[in-house]
Every structure is written in C-alpha cells, then in structure tokens.
Structure 1
C-alpha cells in the first residue's frame, strides 16, 4: 500500500474494499474498529443506490448528519482535502481529512447501476483532527438488487487530551455514526 505524506497514521488505504471484498478482516491492530451495515428498504433500490452514491461523493451525507463541510470542497476524489466541522460559527471545530480512494457508480449501457458494486470513498485524518485513522462510506448494491449502506472505520485518539476524554469521544463517534445511517436512508429514499 502506498504511503501518503501528511496523514497522522501509517496504515492508509485499508478501507478500500471493492465489492465483494470482505469487510470483516485485514484491519490494522491498535485501533478501535467500527463496522456497520444496514439494508435500506426503498421503493426503487437502483435509483436509491444512485442517489446515495452521489450524496456520499458530494458530501451530502455529512451535511445531512449535521456536520458542516468547508465551503468549496470538491466532490470526493483521491487527494481531495476536506474538513467537517462541529459547533457554531466561531466556535466550530474543523477536523481535516484527505480522500484516499473514491469509487463512482458503475452504470450499464442503459444508465442503470450494475448490481454487485460499492460506490463511495475513504478518507484519512490529517494534523488537527482529534483522531488518527480512516473511515470509509459505502453505497452497496448487491447481486440481488439489495441496497445497503456501510461504514468501516478504524481510529484511535489523536492526542493525550482526546485520549483522556476517550469515553466521551467514543459516544460522539457513535452519535454521528447513527446520524450517518439516518442521513443515508434519507438520501436513498429521496426525502
């Protein structure tokens, strides 16, 4: 795996898992691991997949989860730097990341998504982020046409202060993970 300069951790690229690569193995040691998958039951799974995939890559998932996204952040693509923020105006804390990989939806000749794919991206933490690690966001359309949203993340506290408040930090991560799943359903359903 190619190492990229500027990241706050050494094990980059572990969230890149094209369909049907398993999500349950090959994670780096010494990190807190979050693996979560839910089926999104929407009227038209293929259309929902396209909405979700686009919403992931355009940072709409983050916005709908209640995070601010730095103005002018381009669509997720390898090398794109982004910062998501919590708080209000001057009291907002920005957490910088860089996209490591991104996968656009694969379409057939008629413009419909091909079953058996994952679209999304993974980004890693940069200096100034309270965590060290990586997170992947996936829209998945399985071979049977089922639509799923997945998150895979591995992280550890980025400094002593975050480590001292780790129980609070874990709850904040759980809070936003839950919000990501609600936002994914809203995106997929078009609501």
Structure 2
C-alpha cells in the first residue's frame, strides 16, 4: 500500500501547522442548532458530494485508514487526488476528519474539515498545509492556492446551505 507523502501526519488535528508549506485556515459560521446535521454531512462525505466533488471511497464515513480519492473538475479535466484519512473526531462539540496525500496527488500535505460548537455558535473550519508535488503544479502555484481557497469557501457555503435545508 502506498505511504503518505509527508512526515507531519496529524498536524491539522491540533492546528499547529508545520513550516515549509503553504497554510490555509478558513472559518464560516453556520446556522445555529445545526451541529449534528453539519457533523454528519462532513463525516459521511455528503458535504463534499453536495459541493460537486466526486468522492471515490469504499467506506460510508470518514475513519482513520480509509482511502478516499476526491475528484475536482469535469470529465477529462477532472483532477484526482488520492488521500488517506489520518484522524477523525466525533465529540459533542467537535466533529470532522483530516486526510493526507498519497502518491499521485498533485499536492503534498494534509487537509482537515471540522465542525465546532463554540458556545451558541456552530462553525465550519477548513485547515490545511500543502506544497506542490509536481513541477507543473509549482509552475501554477499562485493559481493552485487560489483554487484551494475558493474550494474552502465553496465547502463552507455548501455546508451552510445543507444546514439551512435540515
């Protein structure tokens, strides 16, 4: 089985992101009272699928060790990124997972998707550290960063919509 492509496995879990990578932190407030719906959407791949991402996985929910290959784009322009879930959490005030890159992913690093209950507020947070894995990605690094930020924003908007439709 292929190994993860970076040594700092699990760094998104506590938010202390390693040096030598680009960092992403995106937070969005969700509708009050939607923690359970949001947590289920994140852990059960519903969020990503509702956002238009093809999720190839053999498990119905995120669990450590599960392989998942998200596909972004359309048809022959779809970019596949093999990953493995490296941690999950399902607590009363915190739920989500982090996955790390495997060989064949255009980036090297880790990304986490968390739903948090902070007092009366429900918040969705995307945290990532990454750097290009391939020469052609390095050549378009500013555009790749913009896509990553837009993707985090789109996930937040999609989860807010899913929560509103509870």
Alpha-carbon shift at residue 150 of structure 1 (Å): 0.6
Alpha-carbon shift at residue 152 of structure 1 (Å): 0.8
Q: Kindly provide the CA deviation profile for residues 105-152 of structure 1, in whole angstroms up to 9, marking residues without a partner as x.
A: 43xxxxxxxxxx21000000011111100011110012x221111111
Q: Are the equivalent residues in 2 in contact too, given 1:76–1:102 (CA < 8 A)?
A: yes
TM-score, normalised to structure 1, is 0.80
Corresponding residue for residue 114 of structure 1 = none
- Distance, in Å, in 2 between the alignment partners of 1:166 and 1:91 is 18
Corresponding residue for residue 179 of structure 1 = 154
Structure 2 gap ranges (5+): none
- Distance, in Å, in 2 between the alignment partners of 1:133 and 1:173 is 13
Corresponding residue for residue 39 of structure 1 = 29
Equivalent position to 1:103, from 60, 73, 89? 89
TM-score, normalised to structure 2, is 0.91
Q: CA RMSD in A?
A: 1.7
Equivalent position to 1:127, from 66, 84, 103? 103
- Distance, in Å, in 1 between the alignment partners of 2:78 and 2:139 is 21
Q: Per the alignment, in what secondary structure is the counterpart of residue 135 of structure 1?
A: strand
Distance 1:136 1:71, change over 3 A: closer
Q: How many residues align?
A: 165
Q: Are the equivalent residues in 2 in contact too, given 1:139–1:149 (CA < 8 A)?
A: yes
The higher radius of gyration belongs to 1
Structure (1 or 2) with the greater strand fraction: 2
Structure 1 gap ranges (5+): 18-22, 107-116
The range that moved more, 72-81 or 126-135, is: 72-81
Equivalent position to 1:6, from 3, 11, 23? 3
Alpha-carbon shift at residue 71 of structure 1 (Å): 5.7
Corresponding residue for residue 111 of structure 1 = none
Distance 1:97 1:50, change over 3 A: same
Q: Are the equivalent residues in 1 in contact too, given 2:82–2:105 (CA < 8 A)?
A: yes
